[in-house]
Amino acid sequence: MMIIRPIKPSDYSALYNIAEESGIGFTSLPVNESLLQSKIADSQTAFKAHISQPGNESYLFVMENSATGEVVGTSGIASSVGLDDAFYHYHLSKVVHASRELDIYNTAEILTLCNDYTGVSEICTLFLRESARHGNCGRFLSKVRFLFMMEHKARFAETVIAEMRGISDETGKSPFWQWLEEHFFSMDFPTADYLTGIGQKQFIAELMPKYPIYVSLLSKEAQAVIGKVHDKTQPALRLLESEGFSCRGYVDIFDAGPTVEANLTHIRTAQASRKLAIKIDEQTVDSDTEYFVINCKIAEFRAIATSLNIDEANELAIISQADAEQLDVQNGDFIRFAPTTFKV
């Protein structure tokens, strides 16, 4: 069985391996020992803190194979982005150049540097190792965050975003960044991506063009990748779109990958989730429906995918003893759960 729990210091080696496997363009997990150690420490602090409103907290989860103890994936949530360091995006919009006297009317797309997403929550750092890319593991690792956020809403903003990895090749060559590099930065994409990942973002404010960029002035290659995602990111994007996320024209400043957003209470898994007290009864758990299930704890958070029965008359969720042990819950404790799949 796969269990999702908060990361702990002993998971460092696994996290480092995941950072190496994730490759160039996965900004939130740079291969840097001190930064990864700091991410673990920050996450532990966040899970232990008593919080009434979102701040700078960063939560990092890991997926563990309970049979082997192997950590096979990670995912995270940032409570509020941009409070300490500026959080940059390009916004793709249109301007009109028109002359009534000459009967000329032209529209042009522009990219404007902005900080519009300051203060929103971000789901991030999602990576599943190749050996675990089967069944519901990918959906589980992603969707469990919506259950956690719905259960602990005071810790998060109403608007939730996800930055999707844009187009780049195996060597880190990004068509969009190539144009920026040539005209403004004199720095390759892997270097810029790494510096951002370790928190050194000052160069963006210093070197990024201050005025809107006309898309038509970019190279054809750069224009072609605006708002497009990396092949390996397509499944993650489809999953988020099925949850109600959409892009409102914001793209990454390095590779032009899209940023998608949704309101927490409108996210399909969060909206469909239920919170019920449990009853442990081995004999009656025979449902064919599988659910993603979390306990309602924070520091001792646990999540599994399993079957359960619902006693509507008594408002109880009936689970097995084995599942109760994995979730660290007892009779009368509460769980929150949502179906692993939704009917079309």
- Residues annotated as catalytic (active site), given as ranges: 230
Q: Are 37 and 12 in contact (CB under 8 A)?
A: yes
Q: How many CB atoms lie within 10 A of CB 321?
A: 11
Sign of CA dihedral 241, 247, 253, 255: positive
Q: What amino acid occupies position 257?
A: G
- Looking at the DSSP assignment, which residues form a beta bridge with residue 113? 90
* Cβ atoms of 166 and 236 closer than 8 Å: no
Residue carrying structure tokens 């020992």: 33
Residues in Cβ contact with 127 at an 8 Å cutoff, skipping those fewer than 6 apart: 18, 21, 22, 26, 29, 73, 74, 75
Q: How far apart (Å, rounded) are the C-alpha atoms in residues 124 and 29?
A: 10
Contact between 291 and 337 under an 8 Å Cβ cutoff? The reply is: yes
Q: What is the Cα 178 distance to its own chain's centre?
A: 26
Tell how far CA 115 is from the center of its chain.
Answer: 19
Tokens of 94: 């249109």
